[in-house]
Amino acid sequence: MSDQYRFIDPRHAYPVISPPVQQQPEPGLQSQADPVPDLGEETYRGTGRLAGRKALITGGDSGIGGAVAIAYAREGADVVISYLREEQSDADHVLEHIRAAGRIGVGVPGDLSERGFPAELVARAVEELGGLDAVVNVAGRQLWVPDIADLSEEQFEATFRTNVFAAFAIVKAAVPHLAPGSTIINTASAEAYSPAPDRLDYAATKGAINNLSKGMAQQLIERGIRVNVVAPGPTWSVLQVTQGVDPESLPEFGSSEAPIGRAGQPAEIAPAYVYLASGESSFTVGATLSVNGGMITP
């Protein structure tokens, strides 16, 4: 498989996967997923689009966040990634690729849902990188609950704390450090527009993130800071095998939802984050970039 600049039929750019039924305890390890998600380790080719940038990426140990971290490093950025302590081995894999690209790579473990940690994370990133000019919120919590009667208030709140409250707290802590030209990229989902009935709390957070980001974009552009959103469609990651979706649906994951006929791989989502952090998107403010294999959005 060649790099992301190849000319190819998108239906066949990555394999059509049919994952076996499998489950891991939350938060799980990407390295133990079958098949292992593709972060672009062997394919992503940088061209200097983020040279000299200083980025903080949450959920950077695996999945989309891991793919973004590798892509940013190969584009010339120094990177701090956050992750849960249980995900250390996955984080080490990503950090190895960041450093192999000749960039600074720092891992900061911790729980984003804990009050105070988002601000600590930002302070650590500023200290380690000597500043900050790109904030990328990818980390998320997703648990499959088919019956609203079984969706506890505790889970509902925990999902919002991880997906929405943490992103808000990180941006709030980061803004004083961001000079004009800096970028903030938040992560929504196709479920912001078409919510899965068995993921009510998760889908609701993605709608909230999309809305919150539009407001942030209008406010922060007055400081020269751009805020945008990426809304992925069904993407293969460890999130799917840690009670993220109905386990019995895994063999058909993505193939029935996306018109492209397959699930996406994290490596395919990362270039959207590169574009939104680069100068190429200087006139892109408050946008939601849907990367979803053809799913219809408003």
Q: Would the pLDDT of 1 be above 80?
A: no
Nearest to 84 by CA among 116, 55, 57, 61: 61
Give domain status of residue 277, yes or no: yes
Give domain status of residue 136, yes or no: yes
Q: Summarize pLDDT for 109-137 with one digit per residue, the tens.
A: 999 999 999 999 999 999 999 999 999 99
Give the pLDDT score at 2.
66
Q: Summarize pLDDT for 204-253 with one digit per residue, the tens.
A: 999 999 999 999 999 999 999 999 999 999 999 999 999 999 999 999 99
Q: Would the pLDDT of 40 be above 70?
A: yes
Considering the chain, what is the average pLDDT of its residues?
Answer: 97
Q: What are the φ/ψ torsions at residue 116 (nearest 5 degrees)?
A: 95, -30
DSSP assignment of 240-260 equals GGTTTS-GGGGGGTTTTTSTT
Give domain status of residue 29, yes or no: no
Give domain status of residue 198, yes or no: yes
Q: Would the pLDDT of 153 be above 90?
A: yes
E strand or H helix that includes residue 107: strand 105-109
Give the pLDDT score at 179.
98
The runs of H, that is alpha helices, within 101-258 are 117-129, 153-160, 166-174, 200-220
Active site positions, annotated: 202
How far apart CA 139 and CA 84 sit, in angstroms, is: 10
Rounded to two decimals, the pTM is 0.97
* For residues 34-52, average pLDDT: 97
Q: Would the pLDDT of 256 be above 90?
A: no
Domain encompassing residue 154: 50-291
Q: Would the pLDDT of 192 be above 90?
A: yes
Contact partners, residue 215, CB within 8 Å, separation at least 6: none
Number of domains in the chain: 1
Give domain status of residue 69, yes or no: yes
* For residues 81-100, average pLDDT: 98
How far apart CA 142 and CA 107 sit, in angstroms, is: 23
| Percent of the chain clearing pLDDT 90 (strictly above) | 96
How far apart CA 214 and CA 195 sit, in angstroms, is: 19
How far apart CA 284 and CA 223 sit, in angstroms, is: 15
Give domain status of residue 183, yes or no: yes
Label residue 181 by pLDDT band (50, 70, 90).
very high
CATH number, residue 88 = 3.40.50.720
| Percent of the chain clearing pLDDT 70 (strictly above) | 99
Q: Would the pLDDT of 298 be above 90?
A: no
Give the pLDDT score at 45.
97
Give domain status of residue 30, yes or no: no
Helix (H, G, I), strand (E, B) or coil at 157: helix
Contact partners, residue 250, CB within 8 Å, separation at least 6: 19, 20, 21, 22, 240, 241
Give domain status of residue 275, yes or no: yes
